[in-house]
Structure 1
Amino acid sequence: MQSLNKLVLILLYSCVFTLGYAQSSVTLTYERNKMQQQDTVVRKGIPWLDETITEENRLPMHTDFVTFPHTSQIINSDWRESSAYLSLNGSWKFKWVNSPSKLPANFESLTYDDRHWDNFQVPANWELNGYGFPMYTTSGFEFTYLIGKPNPPIVPMDFNPTAVYRREVVIPEDWQGKPVILHIGAAKSNLSVWVNGQYVGYGEDSKLPSEFDITAYLRKGKNLITMRVMRWGVANYLEDQDMWRLSGITRDCYLLVRQPVHLRDIQLSPTLNDAFDKGQLNTKLIFNQASHGDLMAEVTLHRNGRLVSIATVKVDGQEVDIEQTIDHPELWSAEMPNLYQVTVKLT
């Protein structure tokens, strides 16, 4: 196996977002019969209508991390500066309709002409940018007025705002032959993906990322990425929160390149002794495939650029656990939110 040299930067971040919106009066009328007569046979196999389907070809959830080629780049670098990262934020061709049945045929095709479509920013929600209307509710489902009463898994079909995003992207030459991952930070309420006209996969969970391995669908030069997002699906029955109901792709989108043997997940578990003067960091590394002792993993802990701890182990298998002890750790609290930076180096 060729020697691998990767550095992984784990980025832990949080944000608080507040939104104010002026009250508006929206009057809608709708015939409810079709919603109440959805046939179970029709729903089965259609992901956004089938309660037994929550994803198709989506990669397992994991800690977010980006790789860097050299140690010197990792400690103080913005993760977006990594050569293993390619942002998909920005302008996309955009088609919004009030029902999935009104989408144009073959919208995912390489030959489809989208020049007449609108341009729309990613990330952004639809409703505050002129497509549809926002709704606020403290309890109850936002589509109840369309179907009469909650009746899982029945959701609106004839009125269900839906949008398609299309964008061409050029894959860097030094990414050729390596795994390429498409990351969609959040899509409400469900997401379907095509690359170069071929169906890739599907995901739900409005505020969680969806990732897909798109390596097999890529080609040299320009590649077309197409995404379809729908306002409502059967998963909405599990997402009834006291919040503004806003749709679209609402978090960062990007591509990541990995090595043939790479980390799939990193799990960090910090603990303290009873005196709070000694800490232990347990790190679990999970790889996409097993290594047979020819791979070394180095876990380094920094605090404000200062080296705190370093540990190196041989990787034998698909998972490895690493323990590190930290004397007199600087503890986290709401008043003193001390953070450490963990890096993982593979050689």
Structure 2
Amino acid sequence: MRNKFIYQSPANGYPEWNNNPEIFQLNREQAHSYMMPFKSESEALKEVHSLSPYYQSLNGTWKFAFAETPSARIEHFYEVNYDSSRWADMPVPSNWQLQGYDYPQYTNVKYPWSVSEPELKAPYAPTKYNPVGSYIRSFTVPESWSGQPIFISFQGVESAFYIWVNGELVGYSEDTFTPAEFDLTPYLIEGENKLAVEVYRWCDASWLEDQDFWRLSGIFRDVYLYSVPPIYIADFFVRTNLDDHYRDAELMIDAKVVNYFNQQVGTLQLEMALFDQDNNLVQKKSLVIKEGLTETQDFQLSMPVSQPAKWSAEAPYLYTVVLSLQETDGHCLNRSVAGRDSVNLSLKMD
């Protein structure tokens, strides 16, 4: 199991969200392809991630407290014994400006704080008016996930946030419109777990968001837990190259396999299966992974595909690739949909 995160405050005396543009994450997982593990090939082909037994949504009603400035926020709300029963309810996902707090703001060439703090210069974040939303909810991990790594995924949070589980700081993230994921495995306990999130409307990275759009804040996309086997496919990249005659193709997949607990592992088999748009099997290809898999290793699979249907805007034919990690006796450790792939030079994902 990975060790818990040990926090060290920035050397310049400012918090991560202010005057620290080089700090945009703490203990956040590396970005990876969007995927979800499934138990069976038939489940994987449905491509409904919420139906996976390894998925648990955290959407719904959270407890919420609002402060107009960072200095006015409730600082220790993440502590296990903090009572938030009198807090307001907040639907997640949502923007707090659409739930009666703060105000939506539309601007283009002017920065949102140009009136309230006209003297402000990058990379300092606003402090005279920079609302902070504090979120709390609890969750229980399914018993069937016992002994497996467990992660949390925030699909979108504007603009910066800290996350605590059971009173311990797990990490920090900026990067509003891309997912942020954290490994919760070392922090979880049996029974009810407390999740606390502190969201800042603006941070030093907000200087990069001077585009033509509405400024809104909060946990505005899905939040969910997911679990993976102790040995699992952590990432992949799919490439499809046509020959010079645009007749046949080569399907290539780069896959990252993780041995989370660094346990002794026997011989494994990494398999990719290609299905047509009607979910009929086209062909399979496998690669033997010799015993002694280290904590993280990269592998490459490739197979020729004879006269595949070609993708175009007028006829968007898509194939589905399912990746599986198996033991030599056929027992499947991990199965994921590697997306729906078009046979051209680009990757198409649902």
Asked if TM exceeds 0.5, the reply is: yes
The normalised TM-score by structure 2 is: 0.83
Relative to structure 2, which stretch is displaced further, 328-337 or 287-296? 287-296
2:272 to 276, 285, 299: 299
Deviation at 1:96, TM superposition (A): 1.6
2:212 to 242, 257, 280: 242
2:284 to 310, 334, 342: 310
Residue of structure 2 in register with 1:20 after alignment? none
Contact 1:162/1:231, CA 8 A, preserved across alignment: yes
Shift of the 159–133 alpha-carbon distance from structure 1 to 2, 3 Å rule, reads: same
Contact 1:293/1:314, CA 8 A, preserved across alignment: no
SS in 2 for 1:263: strand
Contact 1:188/1:206, CA 8 A, preserved across alignment: yes
Structure 1 residue ranges (4+ consecutive) displaced by more than 6 angstroms after TM superposition: 290-293
User: How many Å separate the matches in 2 of 1:114 and 1:131?
Assistant: 18
User: How many Å separate the matches in 2 of 1:100 and 1:147?
Assistant: 15
State the number of aligned residues: 306
Deviation at 1:315, TM superposition (A): 2.3
Contact 1:143/1:155, CA 8 A, preserved across alignment: no
2:66 to 92, 96, 100: 96
Contact 1:87/1:253, CA 8 A, preserved across alignment: yes
Deviation at 1:270, TM superposition (A): 1.7
Task: Please say if 1:176 is aligned against 2:146.
Answer: yes
Deviation at 1:60, TM superposition (A): 0.2
User: How many Å separate the matches in 1 of 2:184 and 2:228?
Assistant: 12
Relative to structure 2, which stretch is displaced further, 337-346 or 181-190? 337-346
SS in 1 for 2:207: helix
Residue of structure 1 in register with 2:180 after alignment? 210
User: How many Å separate the matches in 1 of 2:83 and 2:206?
Assistant: 32
Shift of the 274–137 alpha-carbon distance from structure 1 to 2, 3 Å rule, reads: farther
One-letter amino acid of the counterpart of residue 69, structure 1: K
Deviation at 1:78, TM superposition (A): 1.8
One-letter amino acid of the counterpart of residue 267, structure 2: D
Contact 2:17/2:125, CA 8 A, preserved across alignment: no
Shift of the 332–133 alpha-carbon distance from structure 1 to 2, 3 Å rule, reads: farther
Residue of structure 1 in register with 2:52 after alignment? 82
Shift of the 274–126 alpha-carbon distance from structure 1 to 2, 3 Å rule, reads: farther
User: How many Å separate the matches in 2 of 1:334 and 1:147?
Assistant: 48
Contact 1:85/1:254, CA 8 A, preserved across alignment: yes
1:118 to 75, 88, 91: 88
Deviation at 1:285, TM superposition (A): 0.7
List alignment gaps of at least 5 residues for structure 1.
Answer: 1-39
Shift of the 150–158 alpha-carbon distance from structure 1 to 2, 3 Å rule, reads: closer
Shift of the 70–156 alpha-carbon distance from structure 1 to 2, 3 Å rule, reads: same
User: How many Å separate the matches in 2 of 1:329 and 1:150?
Assistant: 57
Pairwise CA RMSD: 1.8
Deviation at 1:254, TM superposition (A): 0.4
List alignment gaps of at least 5 residues for structure 2.
Answer: 1-10, 327-350
Task: Please say if 1:221 is aligned against 2:191.
Answer: yes
Deviation at 1:252, TM superposition (A): 1.2
Residue of structure 2 in register with 1:158 after alignment? 128
Task: Please say if 1:322 is aligned against 2:301.
Answer: yes
Deviation at 1:150, TM superposition (A): 5.7
SS in 2 for 1:146: coil
Task: Please say if 1:134 is aligned against 2:107.
Answer: no
User: How many Å separate the matches in 2 of 1:233 and 1:78?
Assistant: 35
SS in 1 for 2:84: coil
Contact 1:182/1:254, CA 8 A, preserved across alignment: yes
Contact 1:153/1:234, CA 8 A, preserved across alignment: yes
